[in-house]
Amino acid sequence: MSQEEIEDLHIEENNELNSEELYERLTLVVDKGQEPLRIDKFLLHKVVNTSRNKIQNAIDNGMVLVNSQKIKSNYKVKPEDQIIFYSDTDPVTYEIIAEELPLNIVFEDDHVLVINKPAGMVVHPGAGNFSGTLINGVAWHLKKQQPDLDESKLPRFGLVHRIDKNTSGLIVLAKSELAAVKLAKQFFDHTVQRKYIALVWGNFDETGGTINGHIARHTRLRKLMDVFPEGDQGKEAITHYRVLENMRYVSLVECVLETGRTHQIRVHMQHIGHSLFNDEIYGGNRILKGTVFTKYKQFVDNCFDICKRQALHAQTLGFIHPETEKEMLFESELAEDLKKVIEKWRGYTSINHFTERP
């Protein structure tokens, strides 16, 4: 794939360039010579891409801790105070236009909204994608329930994490600022259960394993992500995988995310030599395992036509409800294109098991 083609893909997938987790924790230690100063003014000068209103909201919602304690906005920092600030990792905001779009709502109450997102739908508006996103549809849905809803009070209409445009599956949104804070902390603390099903190239000798490699932008192709096993660049990324089924040329695997980095499963699986089937960005859109026979190539091309995107589905999502504090667990069926391509591979390998060379 040429650099120009990669650039074009990432104009379409602009929202995938940031971490799936939309909040990060900033830790600050106040200098020994610091004069007493209101904490909102202190943070305004210390944190980039923020505003006083954003800091005030964070304080009000318990996202700013001093010496592990919640504080009020009139708190004055003291020398050697330890401050933790849960900060939005994506400060760029766009006007959200409510649009009537079909949403597959799995669960909803006054606090959370769980949606089964189809492949091909971008999660939230950004450069190149100002309409037709999941958040445009959620805005319409929530405005029908609350005609006087103040959009500024619920950033991105409660988005606390995201999944790639061409990944199908479950995503949770908050319906209140407090729910957003509590869910965001769960994602940051890695207590949210997230399991994905992926069809990848190649067979495995082992039944499973753990991939631990920092993820950062590729050193040459700056629109791609890459793995840095020594941890000298990027952020720590951990993926646990379990092989569900070997199908000679491809395998079905379950991936459990411990962290939520950009394209984590896609780049981790490529790193261990098992690119996702038909992953155009990470090399899975060409034959990586199989025979030299023409009929085999035709078969693979037919599979690509059935599943026109990376074969990845967010199947399981579990979290603690922000209000009731009860454990919530949701599972979704595989998307139809994934079901069809998996069955096609099962049939092919069963029929041709003794007639073709690997």
Domain match, 56 and 176 both: no
φ, ψ (nearest 5 deg) of residue 155: -55, 130
Helix pair angle (39-46, 52-60), 10° resolution: 130
Total tally of structural domains belonging to the chain: 2
Element (H, E) at 319: strand 312-320
3-state secondary structure of 88: strand
Domain match, 8 and 32 both: no
Domain match, 8 and 103 both: yes
Give the torsion through C-alpha atoms of 57, 59, 61, 62, to 10 deg. 160
Could you tell me which of 113, 279, 257, 139 has the C-alpha nearest to residue 192?
A: 257
Asked if the structure places residue 296 within a domain, the reply is no
Q: CB-based contacts of 36: which residues, under 8 Å, 6+ apart?
A: 76, 77, 78
Question: Which tokens is 104 given?
Answer: 């597959």
Contact at 8 Å (CB) between 172 and 321? no
> Which pLDDT score, from 0 to 100, does residue 131 have?
87
Asked if the structure places residue 56 within a domain, the reply is yes
Separation between Cα atoms, residue 246 and residue 269, nearest integer Å: 15
Domain match, 146 and 10 both: yes
| 230-234, long-range: CB < 8 A, 24+ apart | 234/261
Domain match, 29 and 164 both: no
> Which pLDDT score, from 0 to 100, does residue 138 have?
93
**88, 112, 136 - which closes a domain:** 88
Asked if the structure places residue 193 within a domain, the reply is no
Residue 141 belongs to a domain with what CATH number? Answer: 3.30.2350.10
Asked if the structure places residue 167 within a domain, the reply is yes
Full-prediction pTM beyond 0.85?
no
Separation between Cα atoms, residue 265 and residue 122, nearest integer Å: 18
Domain match, 40 and 174 both: no
Separation between Cα atoms, residue 198 and residue 269, nearest integer Å: 10
Residue 15 CB burial class (10 angstroms; 0-12, 13-18, ≥19): buried
Domain match, 37 and 135 both: no
Helix pair angle (336-351, 294-306), 10° resolution: 160
The single residue listed with the structure tokens 């007493």 is 36
Residue 40, domain extent: 23-88
Low-confidence ranges of the chain (pLDDT < 70): 1-24, 49, 87-94, 127-128, 151-156, 222, 352-358
Catalytic residue numbers read 164
Separation between Cα atoms, residue 261 and residue 263, nearest integer Å: 6
* Chain centroid to CA 240: 16
Strand 168-174 with 112-117, pairing: antiparallel
Asked if the structure places residue 269 within a domain, the reply is no
**131, 146, 180 - which closes a domain:** 180
**88, 118, 138 - which closes a domain:** 88
Separation between Cα atoms, residue 140 and residue 176, nearest integer Å: 16
Domain match, 15 and 60 both: no
Domain match, 32 and 169 both: no
> Which pLDDT score, from 0 to 100, does residue 4 have?
44
Contact at 8 Å (CB) between 307 and 345? no
> Which pLDDT score, from 0 to 100, does residue 124 have?
83
Domain match, 80 and 123 both: no
> Which pLDDT score, from 0 to 100, does residue 17 have?
39
Question: Which tokens is 26 given?
Answer: 């900033």
Which residues pair with residue 238 across a beta bridge?
Answer: 212
Q: Is the dihedral of CA 218, 120, 159, 48 positive or negative?
A: positive
Domain match, 36 and 12 both: no
Residue 106 CB burial class (10 angstroms; 0-12, 13-18, ≥19): middle
Domain match, 174 and 97 both: yes
DSSP state of 275: P
Asked if the structure places residue 325 within a domain, the reply is no
Asked if the structure places residue 159 within a domain, the reply is yes
Residue 73 belongs to a domain with what CATH number? Answer: 3.10.290.10
Asked if the structure places residue 81 within a domain, the reply is yes
Q: How many CB atoms lie within 10 A of CB 232?
A: 8
**CA-based radius of gyration for the chain:** 22
